[in-house]
Amino acid sequence: MIKRKYRFVLLGIVVLCMVACCVAFVLCRRNSSSGKYIVPDNLDALTSLTNEEIQKIDIAVLNLLCAEGLPGSENIDIEYCLRTLDEWAKHILEMESKYKIAFYQNLEKYENSYALFQGVYLKLALDLDYKCGYNMELVRSGAMSDWTSLRMFANSKDLFIHGFVDRDAPRTGTCGSLPVLMTAVGRRCGYPLFFVVNKGHAFCRWDDGVHRYNFECSGKGIDYKPDSYYMGYPHPIPPDELAVELFMQNLTPLGEYVEFLDQRAACLRWNKRYKEACEAYEEILKRMPHIRSVRLKLEVITEKYLR
């Protein structure tokens, strides 16, 4: 027979386990439409996760949560966005199967690589079937060429994928969101796609260990370029920066999260929400303290606006 004091110990363990389960349930729920994705309830819940837990979160979920509370995301419906991505992927796979004869009829065009055909078809489907493209008003206004300010970061719809897949979305974005969209949809198709950043730009990479293509997502149609191109465009990457930043890497979910927080901070800074921008930078440095550019941005904002 269990002694009285041990019964209390066992009871305490049971209660603690129940509390832990309840907390986990509150912090993370599964998307009710698909049941596929772990979706933290909000950005605060996401920041409470460990690095290991973040590595299990879908790129679209990370991206959408990092847009929380920003201008342009006031009515964001994450479950609707995830359903939309699932539906687009299903359609693209069906059409790929239907039109794959084009690959066999144009083997030279696709370098005898079905992987290249899949990547090209995915981008064209996003362009033509779903009318997703670049926000040309940012180009016409000069915001894209203005490296002296953050005005291109004013609206979260240009920076995060709800600008393509939420209700009444304009379906326009920038190099910060188009490669994320292609990666999110492509992964739902089973493609080995990665979100990649360099100095001032981002793109989508197919890397299955045999084939490797850097897909340029920011213009009409599709293009693919070697790593050497992105090492110099739009800005050269010095070796010392390559060692301390996330440039040119196949980003893990943790790396994706960090990059999305950086986008978030830029939007907050343009909208003069400096304290929140600092919180985003601090979260990045908690996860990846080696990122020098973020530490410098945090120091500048703290010195200039918060003292």
Residue given tokens 């005898």 in the structure block = 112
What integer pLDDT is reported at residue 221 of this predicted model? 77
What integer pLDDT is reported at residue 148 of this predicted model? 82
- Which band of pLDDT confidence, cut at 50, 70 and 90, is reported for residue 154? very high
Sheet containing 193-198: which strands, arranged edge to edge?
193-198, 201-207, 212-216, 223-225
Per-residue pLDDT of 34-53, as tens digits, reads 467 889 999 999 999 999 99
Tokens of residue 258, six digits: 């960090």
**What mean pLDDT comes out for the span 267-287?**
97
Query: Residue 21, Cβ neighbours under 10 Å: how many?
Result: 10
The answer on pLDDT for 28 being more than 50 is no
The answer on pLDDT for 10 being more than 80 is no
Q: What is the torsion angle, in degrees rounded to the nearest 10, for the CA atoms of residue 80, residue 81, residue 87 and residue 90?
A: -140
The answer on pLDDT for 31 being more than 50 is no
**What mean pLDDT comes out for the span 261-285?**
97
pTM for the model = 0.88
Per-residue pLDDT of 185-205, as tens digits, reads 999 999 999 999 999 999 999
d(C-alpha 170, C-alpha 190), whole Å: 27
The answer on pLDDT for 25 being more than 70 is no
Q: Which parts of the chain are beta strand (E)?
A: 28-30, 38-40, 133-134, 172-173, 193-198, 201-207, 212-216, 223-225
Domain boundaries, the chain: 58-305
Q: Where are the alpha helices (DSSP H) in 130-273?
A: 136-140, 162-165, 178-188, 227-230, 239-244, 253-270
The answer on pLDDT for 83 being more than 80 is yes
Answer for the pair 146, 233: CB distance below 8 angstroms, yes or no: no
Identity of the amino acid at 240: D
Per-residue pLDDT of 112-146, as tens digits, reads 999 999 999 999 999 999 999 999 999 999 888 88
